[in-house]
Structure 1
Amino acid sequence: MKFPKFWKNKIFWLIVSTVFISSVFGFGAGLISGTYFYLDIKNYLSDFPGVQKVEKIVEKEYIPQTSQEEKIINIVKEVSPAVVSIVITKDMPIFEQYYYNPFGDNPFFDIQIPGQRQIGTEKKEIGGGTGFIVSEDGLILTNKHVVLDEEADYTILTNDGRKFPARVLAKDPVQDLAILKISREKVIDKEGNLLSKTFPTVKLGDSDQLQMGQTVVAIGNVLGEFRNSVSVGVISGLGRTITASGGGFVETIEDVIQTDAAINKGNSGGPLLNLQGEVVGINTATVMGAQNIGFAIPVNKAKKDIEQVKTLGKIVYPFLGVRYVMVTEEVQKENDLPVDYGAWIVVGQGEPAIVPDSAADKAGLREGDIILEFDNEKITTTNSLAKIIMKYNPGDKVVLLVLRDEKEKIITVTLGKRSE
């Protein structure tokens, strides 16, 4: 059987060519028209109520919304490496329960009662605080009440997770301040040389320039658990006097900064910063049971401590050697005093009015004297004797204006020395 040979027929090839060309042009026209109508319908539907627009989400780095917010973010990034957590550990006794007969081996009284006995010790974490590095060789400033325990060990934990054993170099005898020391890490450079790695440090500002309402940032080891937590507030008050207590430690601190930036347990010793990233205070206390009332020691009071530790290896203060009560209008009326200002030298419970062999004793000051002026500075409740004497050094000669038996008297005193 023979089939017709279509491929030799010109009409056949004309039909095939026509179908092929029509298909190509039809596909192209369909593609173009489909795309056009798809985009047109999509744009129409996107404006139709109730139809959600699906947008591609692109993650971007957060952009601060205000210049102040940007400053705070930059401050935290810059200062955090120099803010450290202080971990307090101590060898604590381990006890076990046992039973014993209080009557010994008496067979007539076989009574067993429970008791406890120590079977050893184990090192436990008993507290924590905050500090900040003030020198490249590892000096750390913190609160004195954080490092009060002489038998405890102190470990510094940096923001990047490194640990360093710390030594307590000095405790301020007057203020709630202490200075610790950690040793620098030894590293080997590319050439094989052994080098000491320096620590990041904070910048110290001028606390005398603080203004009410000024924005401040607090960084600290909140509750001894949340490292380098940040809180923001304002300066709520200046020149406050508080009595701080905790852990068997009670101290009256004068001329402190009040702030509403959150200061919690564990924040103690952390920096209070201005918007230039400078330390203006050392967070020290908060009012229990109240909200947004915290206190910090002005950094200018700590600068002298830092320099003394660097040069002398300890912190020393000028010492007069008197126990006194600040004279107010109320104190004047209650005790029939001739003036309503000054420092009235009186005895206390178990405390003499004049410390034996002190500068005051050697200069001839007596119980009942009222010191009116200290080197021409009037002594008032806002400018107390303790605040004035802080400006001087041991060995300085000062002139006191003293009221004795209602007569003014000039007494020259060479200040003594007080250390921890």
Structure 2
Amino acid sequence: MMFNIVRRSQIVGLMTMDRSTATRYGSVEEVWVDRNGQVKYFASDAGYTPFEQIAMEVTVTLRDGRTFKGKVRGLDEPSDLAVVKIDGSNLPIAPLGSSASVQVGDWAIAVGNPLGLNNTVTLGIISTLNRSSSQVGILDKRLDFIQTDAAINPGNSGGPLLNQRGEVIGINTAIRADAQGIGFAIPIDKAKQIKDKLERGEKVPHPYIGVRMLTLTPKVAKQFNQDPNARLTAPEINGVLVVQVMPNSPAAAGGIRRGDVITEVDGTSTTTAEQLQDRVEASRIGQPLRLKVRRGEQTQELTVRPAELQKASQ
């Protein structure tokens, strides 16, 4: 099998330092810049540079050895993305692709600094698109992810996921610790939307209702109902099963209960957890959502007003 991969040298390194905190492995992340010195994206890695320890100093290092002091222009905690500004000229840039054009089976190249090993490159394929945060188990992010089997390790977070033309199609963000060959990246189209708001000094809205859920089908319901350890029964229908309601959340305020099955949002059929997440994300904070809910043998309509995702709810 033969294929061509375009060589790019436009990836830069970023080191964050906090005067009170020495983070493991030097907290070196991968980012890229535009010609105006705007470092477009930076992601922290849980356990390395958490947002409770926002960097006081940022140093950006280019492949040619030049270093620049950076200034954080904006950050979005739920997505672990930030925009950093540097002053420089003749800056290399990594071309941005479109995650909308990515297909399962495409080549995927991950670049990063795993375990402090700078400029590590791994190769794989795109395994799945639109993997929801609930499926991934990343409950503090409200995003859909690109799944890849390109090796991603601690320290890769913030590094680009590239296609074979060297275009950035995603930002490496997470792995499944209990498995190999299962890594996740934020699609570049979503990252660009967040970046645009941060550059304008705007807050990125993250509406949430405060439930943990799974997609319910008649088959899944039978498994639940036959499992003595499930401590939950469910009707054998298609919908979104609420397995937990967060205390003091919009869902709790709206009367949603554990064991409810959501089947519609604002009159639109909603039968998967991904559909419910998408409709909540597309909603406006504080504006009512009408949910059709199956509770036992009864069907009722409840109103929930999404709120801004807060750290306390993660």
Q: TM-score if structure 2 supplies the norm length? A: 0.75
Alignment of structure 1 residues 14-33 onto 2, 5 Å: none
Distance across 1 between alignment mates of 2:178 and 2:200: 42
**Which residue in the other structure is 1:184 paired with?**
87
Alignment of structure 1 residues 21-420 onto 2, 5 Å: 68-69=3-4, 72=5, 74=6, 76-77=7-8, 80-81=9-10, 83-91=11-19, 126-133=26-33, 136-145=36-45, 147-148=49-50, 149-150=52-53, 152=55, 153-168=57-72, 169-173=74-78, 175=79, 177-185=80-88, 197=89, 199-227=91-119, 229-240=120-131, 241-243=135-137, 255-287=144-176, 292-320=181-209, 322-326=210-214, 327=216, 328-329=220-221, 330-331=223-224, 333=226, 334=230, 335-345=232-242, 351-352=246-247, 354-355=248-249, 358=250, 361=253, 364-368=254-258, 369-375=260-266, 376-381=268-273, 383=274, 385-395=276-286, 397-418=288-309
Change (3 A) 1:123 1:413: closer
The CA deviation at 1:419 is: 5.6
Distance across 2 between alignment mates of 1:289 and 1:339: 31
Change (3 A) 1:124 1:211: closer
Distance across 2 between alignment mates of 1:217 and 1:226: 15
Change (3 A) 1:136 1:411: farther
Deviations 1:80-106 (CA, angstroms, capped at 9, x unpaired): 32x22122334469xxxxxxxxxxxxx
Residues 161 and 172, structure 2, Cα contact 8 Å, conserved in 1: yes
Distance across 1 between alignment mates of 2:24 and 2:129: 39
Change (3 A) 1:345 1:218: closer
Distance across 1 between alignment mates of 2:283 and 2:34: 23
Change (3 A) 1:165 1:288: same
SS of the equivalent of 1:316 reads coil
Distance across 2 between alignment mates of 1:347 and 1:286: 24
The CA deviation at 1:272 is: 1.0
Change (3 A) 1:236 1:123: closer
Read off the aligned partner of 1:338 and give its amino acid letter: P
The CA deviation at 1:126 is: 3.4
Residues 202 and 279, structure 1, Cα contact 8 Å, conserved in 2: yes
Deviations 1:261-283 (CA, angstroms, capped at 9, x unpaired): 23233222111122343322111
> Gaps (5+ residues) in structure 1?
1-64, 94-121, 186-196, 245-249
The CA deviation at 1:222 is: 4.0
Aligned residue pair count:
292
Residues 90 and 126, structure 1, Cα contact 8 Å, conserved in 2: no
Change (3 A) 1:400 1:243: closer
Deviations 1:381-418 (CA, angstroms, capped at 9, x unpaired): 4x253344223343555432222453323345443333
Residues 83 and 198, structure 2, Cα contact 8 Å, conserved in 1: no
User: What is the root-mean-square deviation of aligned Cα atoms in Å?
Assistant: 3.6
Distance across 2 between alignment mates of 1:265 and 1:386: 27
Change (3 A) 1:373 1:311: farther
Structure showing greater Rg: 1
Residues 208 and 306, structure 2, Cα contact 8 Å, conserved in 1: yes
SS of the equivalent of 1:258 reads strand
The CA deviation at 1:288 is: 5.2
> Gaps (5+ residues) in structure 2?
none
